[in-house]
Amino acid sequence: MLRVEKLCAGYGEIQVLNDVTLHVAFGEIVAIVGANGAGKTTLLRVIMGSLGARSGSVSFDGRRLSGLAPHRIAACGVRLVPEGRRVFPALSVEENLLVGAILRSRVEAAREMERMYALFPVLAERRRAPASTLSGGQQQMLALGRALMGRPRLLALDEPSLGLAPIVVESIFRSLAELRSADTCILLVEQNARKALALADRGYVLENGRIALEGKADDLSRDRSVIHAYLGGEEGREAGA
Ligand code: ATP
């Protein structure tokens, strides 16, 4: 499983994460919810190795990730679907997917590609199109497909619903539900707390870089402070979307 223990991290003078401790077991989907600037992306940066920890540790499947270079962390089966998708706009759908299979053989890459096209048929239809011509939702599917091409054992997602219409968010979250498997951990960072907690098994609330609350996703979605801070406002946002 993924284990984050007493993690502190930040940028220059700014300390963003303070003693963050959490875990994600194989087979679980765990949501991290929190407001803008709570430190969610920073947490993912440390897990992925693009930002060093000041103290504390991150380990996955018994192996310490803290201190490893990002490509070594990727080789441990860890993949991120970044905020804002970050697909390669000039590359075709197929080429974007192949980038995700860089550590795999040709035969494996071809097999994974077919799996992605079965999961996201619209990507198969647009396989030769430059990624820049896809809609936001299709780009999100492509970013997810690219990460899945590496058959991750830890899949981290940063705000997959951001900027997408509710109907598209539904479809992305349905795909995530299909990805649940006994040998994979999924860590889902979301401002859309309602959607994230509806999908996840457990959740953590990150406030100002600290874990303010943790528990079963069902319990968190009924918690008054969570409803007040993260679910009430969202209803309005969704209704207005
Ligand atoms: P959002 O949903 O807006 O992305 P977040 O919970 O992911 O929010 P972070 O992006 O982790 O939050 O940011 C946490 C804090 O760290 C914020 O105050 C932000 O301004 C600051 N921060 C983020 N990146 C940097 C950076 N590269 N240099 C300095 N400060 C940063």
Phi, psi of 201 (to 5 degrees): -85, -45
Phi-psi sector, 37: left (phi>0), alpha (psi -120 to 50), beta: left
**pLDDT at residue number 239:** 38
**pLDDT at residue number 218:** 93
Which of the listed residues 36, 46, 86, 210 should we mutate to test ligand 1's pocket, taking the one with most ligand atoms within 8 A of CB? 36
Contact by Cβ (8 Å): 22, 202: no
Strand order of the β-sheet with 210-216 is 78-81, 154-158, 185-190, 29-33, 202-207, 210-216
**pLDDT at residue number 227:** 85
Which of the listed residues 36, 42, 44 should we mutate to test ligand 1's pocket, taking the one with most ligand atoms within 8 A of CB? 42
Mean pLDDT of 31-39: 91
The Cβ of residue 226 has, within 10 Å, a number of other Cβ atoms equal to 22
* Distance (Å) from CA 10 to ligand 1 centroid: 9
pLDDT tens by residue, 212-227: 999 999 999 988 888 8
* Distance (Å) from CA 14 to ligand 1 centroid: 10
Comparing 9-13, 173-177, 226-230, which segment has the lowest mean pLDDT?
226-230
What is the set of domains in the chain, with CATH numbers?
Answer: 1-77+156-241 (3.40.50.300), 83-151 (no CATH)
pLDDT tens by residue, 108-167: 888 989 989 988 899 999 999 999 999 988 999 999 999 999 889 999 999 988 888 888
Contact by Cβ (8 Å): 64, 2: no
Give the mean pLDDT of the chain.
Answer: 89
* Distance (Å) from CA 43 to ligand 1 centroid: 10
* Distance (Å) from CA 109 to ligand 1 centroid: 34
Q: Which of 137, 100, 130, 128 is nearest to 116 (CA)?
A: 100
Does ligand 1 come within 6 angstroms of the Cβ of 36? yes
H or E stretch covering 2: strand 2-11
Higher pLDDT, 168 or 202: 202
Mean pLDDT of 162-182: 86
Q: Which of 172, 198, 201 is nearest to 186 (CA)?
A: 201
The model's confidence at residue 229, banded by pLDDT at 50, 70 and 90, is confident
* 170 pLDDT above the threshold of 80: yes
* Distance (Å) from CA 19 to ligand 1 centroid: 17
- Position in ligand 1 atom list of the atom nearest CA 42: 11
pLDDT tens by residue, 52-82: 999 999 999 999 998 899 999 998 999 999 8
Predicted TM-score of the model (pTM): 0.88
Contact by Cβ (8 Å): 158, 79: no
In degrees to the nearest 10, what's the CA dihedral of 69, 71, 74, 79?
100
H-assigned helices in the chain: 40-48, 70-75, 93-99, 106-119, 121-125, 136-148, 166-179, 193-199, 217-222, 224-226, 232-240
Contact by Cβ (8 Å): 123, 116: yes
Does ligand 1 come within 6 angstroms of the Cβ of 239? no
Mean pLDDT of 23-41: 93
* 234 pLDDT above the threshold of 70: no
* Distance (Å) from CA 34 to ligand 1 centroid: 12
The Cβ of residue 228 has, within 10 Å, a number of other Cβ atoms equal to 10
Mean pLDDT of 205-217: 95
